[in-house]
Amino acid sequence: MANTIAISGASGQIGGRVAHLLADTGMPLRLLGRDTTKLPALPGSTSAAIDFADPATVAPALEGAHTFFFVSAVESADRAAQQAAVVRAAAAAGVSRIVYLSFVGAAPDCVFTFGRDHWHTEQAVRESGLDFTFLRDNEYQDIIPQFADADGVIAGPAGSGRVAAVTRADVAACAAAVLTSGAHSRTTYDLTGPRAFTLTEATAQMTEILGRPYRFLDQTVDEAYASRASYRAPRWEVDGWVSTYTAIAAGDLAQVTDAVPTLTGRPATDFADYLAGLARRS
């Protein structure tokens, strides 16, 4: 079992895709999740329960795994500390390599507040002495249509900033390529789509391709907080929601890279093509 790959969030959008992509490789997989009944039954795989909020579950779940594909925990007020504990437990369990799913522009002071947790986790991985690869994804194309309210309005303080959004499928394909290769040691990849676009451009394409009206409403930061007050979410969570847009306005998500074609051997999916596929499935 020396080459076992442990995949966290294996019932989720990224971890699940990666698990299915690796199922035919013959590599032993350990699929991890809080509820093992929701994990896929795949050839060559075993499963284990893991809860990042309970550090005692981490080391047993990773025991004997060589590589850990670390999909970050659900956002929380203490996610950075929680994930640092996960890294320590992985090292204690004998893991040799962590492939961590991070976010573009991860920094201790990045505009996107949830990106700060990713930076702290990256630092914990570096300090662990384990081999690593960081996959820093941009915003997901998949969730941009979900930003719209019932009237088709996407509202937030993004201004005319651009976002080089990437599909979840492309991120999973990149992760699978890295996990099945002995290369990419101590390397960071920014995963983006093939172009950066404004949310005004995004809603215009959504209108054209999805066949219903959408529009982008640019808000001030104060308006953004006021419009989300009815959710009664904790401040740290609302900060994350609003800074999704302010990071776009600041230009933090605008850079386009060739990481997806470099890692997968095929072009990154364009937003228009993603929308066309969404329209066919709906």
The interaxial angle of helices 199-210 and 271-281, nearest 10 deg, is: 30
Domain boundaries, the chain: 5-136+168-191+257-261
Alpha helices in the chain (DSSP H): 15-22, 58-62, 79-92, 113-128, 168-179, 199-210, 221-227, 235-249, 259-264, 271-281
CATH number for domain 5-136+168-191+257-261, candidates 3.40.50.300, 1.10.3370.10, 3.40.50.720, 3.30.479.30: 3.40.50.720
How far apart, in whole angstroms, are the C-alpha atoms of residue 232 and residue 85? Answer: 29
Each residue's pLDDT, cut to its tens digit, for the chain (282 residues) gives 458 999 999 999 999 999 999 998 989 999 999 999 999 999 889 999 999 989 899 999 999 999 999 998 788 889 999 999 999 999 999 999 999 999 999 999 999 999 999 999 999 999 999 999 999 999 999 999 999 999 999 999 999 999 999 999 999 999 999 999 989 999 999 999 999 999 999 999 999 999 999 999 999 999 999 999 999 999 999 999 999 999 999 999 999 999 999 999 999 999 999 999 999 998
Q: Count Cβ atoms below 10 Å from residue 41 Cβ, excluding itself.
A: 8
Q: Which two tokens stand for residue 11?
A: 């019932």
pLDDT value of position 75: 86
pLDDT value of position 1: 43
How far apart, in whole angstroms, are the C-alpha atoms of residue 268 and residue 258? Answer: 8
Structure-token match 């080391």, residue found: 59
Classify the C-alpha dihedral 179-181-182-187 as positive or negative: negative
